[in-house]
Structure 1
């Protein structure tokens, strides 16, 4: 079975509590449950990982390379806008990478408008809350074919 790695970045463990105006009230566990359910429907295994430590996230990307994952969906949170280290780690991968965001990053503060991952991602989906993740998974599966 093909595997998609879902990477959740910094502060995402606080979904459901953090800024409900931007992120709603859904929790990270609920997002993961919805992703796994859709993965079953699409015939892929979804493996989720969250950390608040940039180096740990880079190491998980390295593991993904060695494990041979088939695609990555990533919401790196604030790292999206400045983590060249994580960008370089993702650049090692030869599989589709889909960037997702719960909020519309282009309608927020200026610093959030730029993604350092844009050049290596297959695409970006933002502004649709949980649906950003689900559309991202569908896009990643489609890009694997």
Structure 2
């Protein structure tokens, strides 16, 4: 049975391709999903890919990953990175390896974006690689959970 990872996306990421293309690029969330699926396939991983603009729904997805015995989580919490203790608590209780991803380099942006609640539980953090960071995050997570490239 293949290992499953969850790739979770926070608010406004459904607007990729339209939202500030100079910062976020022209790729859509559908493009990101395809990139993630291709990367998971290389490692024999199954993937659950979700996006929500609602904090509580993201918490439910995180809890679902634990209930469904996922092997790990890649999460771009977007603006909730800087504000959500609820997402931090949910990620902590999963006891799963977590990789935090950001399309832009949040440390080059406004000072309020420099703090991350999620980083406190993440085993790795990627920022500033554009959407390609998702593939890097999956590759890193695959290594952590012992999935080998095929």
Is the shorter-chain TM-score for this pair beyond 0.5, marking a shared fold?
yes
TM range (shorter): over 0.9
How far the C-alpha of 1:80 sits from its partner, in A, is 0.3
1:57 equivalent to 2:58? Answer yes
Q: Which runs of 5+ in 1 are unaligned?
A: none
Equivalent-residue separation in structure 1 for 2:61 and 2:96 (angstroms) = 15
- The aligned residue for residue 116 of structure 2 is 115
1:17 equivalent to 2:18? Answer yes
Query: Following superposition of structure 1 onto structure 2, how do residues 80-119 of structure 1 map, counting pairs within 5 Å?
Result: 80-119=81-120
How far the C-alpha of 1:7 sits from its partner, in A, is 0.2
TM-score, normalised to structure 2's length?
Answer: 0.95
Give the number of aligned pairs: 145
Contact persistence 1:3–1:69 (CA under 8 A):
yes
Which portions of structure 1, spanning 4 or more consecutive aligned residues, are displaced by more than 6 angstroms? none
- The aligned residue for residue 138 of structure 1 is 139
SS of 2:87's equivalent in the other structure is helix
- The aligned residue for residue 48 of structure 1 is 49
RMSD of the alignment, in Å? 0.7
Equivalent-residue separation in structure 2 for 1:88 and 1:94 (angstroms) = 11
How far the C-alpha of 1:24 sits from its partner, in A, is 0.4
Q: Which runs of 5+ in 2 are unaligned?
A: none
TM-score, normalised to structure 1's length?
Answer: 0.98
